């Protein structure tokens, strides 16, 4: 099973990804983790990323796609993977499609967790009150900025994947158990 979980910050993607990886025995691939591993391993693409990061610049899409391409060829990805934090833009999705096509594979499904921004902000405000703001990102202002970035850059992926027929939407506002059951229903199609 090769899949992507889409949704804004706070939608529960991380919670559901852990559950899916445990259930299906597939890996959750984080682009940040993959970048750090490629740098540590001293791979050609990792060294390129290291130089870019050392200059304080964002790693360009072609380097990130190269790292993903290398990573998914590893034996532990043979059963599948969930991409975490990638793609974030339509250009990245198109690049991913080209890489997968060149390898003779494709995505099985893209699951979108749909949520209400206003309720997400209320949840963060409540959590901040309950925990005394213990987490640095436990504030409405930070979440609003992250939501703005999501809507500007990542939300267009919903339409992109809808046109491919890969997109399935799940109500991310339900309880964790209900969201999990809905995802299981989607995965049962495959």
Q: Which residues are registered as beta bridge partners of 29?
A: 83
- DSSP character for 154? I
Tell me the C-alpha distance between 48 and 143, whole Å.
32
Is residue 13 part of the annotated active site? The answer reads: yes
Instruction: Please report where in the chains the tokens 């099973």 appear, as a residue.
Output: 1
**Which architecture characterizes domain 2-187 according to CATH?**
3-Layer(aba) Sandwich (3.40)
Is residue 98 part of the annotated active site? The answer reads: no
Domain locations along the chain: 2-187
Is residue 127 part of the annotated active site? The answer reads: yes
From 19, 88, 123, 162, active-site residue: 88
From 2, 19, 36, 127, active-site residue: 127
Is residue 79 part of the annotated active site? The answer reads: no
pLDDT (tens digit per residue) in 84-131: 778 989 999 999 999 999 999 999 999 999 999 998 888 777 777 777
pTM given for the model: 0.83
User: Residue 81: what pLDDT?
Assistant: 95
């Amino acid at each position: 099973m090769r899949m992507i979980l889409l949704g804004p910050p706070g939608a529960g993607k991380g919670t559901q990804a852990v559950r899916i990886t445990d259930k299906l025995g597939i890996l959750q691939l984080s682009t940040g983790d993959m970048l750090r591993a490629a740098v540590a391993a001293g791979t050609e693409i990792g060294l390129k990323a290291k130089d870019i990061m050392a200059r304080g610049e964002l790693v360009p899409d072609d380097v990130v796609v190269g790292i993903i391409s290398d990573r998914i060829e590893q034996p532990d990805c043979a059963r599948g993977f969930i991409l975490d934090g990638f793609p974030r833009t339509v250009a990245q999705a198109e690049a991913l499609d080209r890489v997968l096509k060149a390898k003779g594979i494709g995505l099985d499904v893209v699951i979108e967790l749909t949520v209400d921004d206003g309720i997400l902000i209320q949840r963060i405000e409540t959590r901040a009150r309950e925990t005394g703001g213990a987490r640095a990102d436990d504030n409405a202002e930070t979440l609003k900025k992250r939501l703005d970035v999501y809507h500007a850059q990542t939300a267009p992926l919903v339409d992109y994947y809808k046109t491919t027929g890969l997109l399935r939407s799940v109500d991310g506002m339900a309880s964790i158990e209900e969201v999990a059951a809905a995802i299981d229903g989607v995965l049962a199609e495959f």
